[in-house]
Amino acid sequence: MGQLQDTVQALLAENKGLLAADESSKSAQKRFDALGIPCTDETRRQYRQMLMTAPGIEEYLSGVIFYDETIRQATDDGTPFPQYLQSKGIVPGIKVDKGLVDLDNFTGETITEGLDGLAERLREYYELGARFAKWRAAFSISDATPTQGSMHANLHTMARYATLCQSAGIVPIVEPEVLYDGPQDLSKAHEATESILKLLVQMLKAYRVDLSGCIVKTSMVLAGKQSGATSSPDEVAEHTLVVLNEAIPATMGGVVFLSGGQTPEQARDNLQAIGSRGKQPWPITFSFSRAVQDPAMKAWAGKSENVANAQKIYFELTKACAEARQGKFKANESGSTDNFVSASQDS
């Protein structure tokens, strides 16, 4: 195998998942403010250090997606975060897109920026230790959206990003997120997610991306929050796997799920239902953010005396998701975190 395939294999290793710790400073500010935690360079560093240095986390964590600020930070003893992760057998990654802006002529739709200067940034990130990257586009579902124009614009850009990553020796994670907060029913979510993923694959192939050295990060298929419907784990598993098997070639390196607005319990239970359905053409795991972080952040509350307890909660949540990806999670074994889990939301 080549370098890209080696990285993919490490990220999709059995019994492990990825941590999305790539929130911008602006996003971190909102989360810290909500809990009354001062949001400074140092408190953000302390928070990320708390997650990465959780005892034993390398047993269930294969990779961490950093933000530009985070990949340049270090532990208390001065070890750069990427080097610390590498010492634990965890692969460092980096979010390289520069966020969403309104897409001209397409009311209510967005385009992801960040291609300008990306080749140079990727070279620097590689030197800092990053071996995979992430680029996110977001699609809302309504009677009028997503439009073909929006899909083409975003997925063309995403494929171009993927080519630049592979040229730099970095595995691209392509993330076309279907937003969960809309009015779509399960059928509409199924249709939109399948259309987006099929077009994504077409674009990747058109740009000659090596699919075996690429990972798709996708939404699970479930009814939107405004629909008034609740999708059961079995429904989510059935529709999600049908979509993936229709859209994603067997040659793709792997599939990872975002949790996109589900509670930690929802994300875990839906992952469990998917994992219970056995092996698929590609390895599947999770790349969650708040579904494994929020309860730990609440327990930490910015105080050093809370670090050990917060790390234990984060460890248990990550372990539960690692078990769920294989269909092996048992609630009574991780019940100690349920009081934190139920109150949290992921985005």
Contact 121, 89 (CB under 8 A): no
Catalytic residue among 95, 217, 298, 319: 217
> 3-state SS string over the chain?
CCHHHHHHHHHCCCCCEEEECCCCHHHHHHHHHHCCCCCCHHHHHHHHHHHHCCCCHHHCEEEEEECHHHHCCECCCCCEHHHHHHHCCCEEEEECCCCEEECCCCCCCEEECCCCCHHHHHHHHHHHCCCEEEEEEEECCCCCCCCHHHHHHHHHHHHHHHHHHHHCCCEEEEEEEECCCCCCCHHHHHHHHHHHHHHHHHHHHHCCCCHHHCEEEECCCCCCHHHCCCCCHHHHHHHHHHHHHHHCCCCCCEEEECCCCCCHHHHHHHHHHHHCCCCCCCCEEEEECHHHHHHHHHHHCCCHHHHHHHHHHHHHHHHHHHHHCCCCCCHHHCHHHHHHHCCCCCC
The verdict on whether 175 is a catalytic residue reads yes
Catalytic residue among 23, 109, 175, 235: 175
The verdict on whether 217 is a catalytic residue reads yes
Q: How many CA atoms lie within 13 A of 31 on its CB side?
A: 26
Contact 253, 215 (CB under 8 A): yes
Question: How many angstroms separate the CA atoms of 146 and 129, rounded?
Answer: 36
Report, as residue numbers or ranges, the catalytic residues.
175, 217
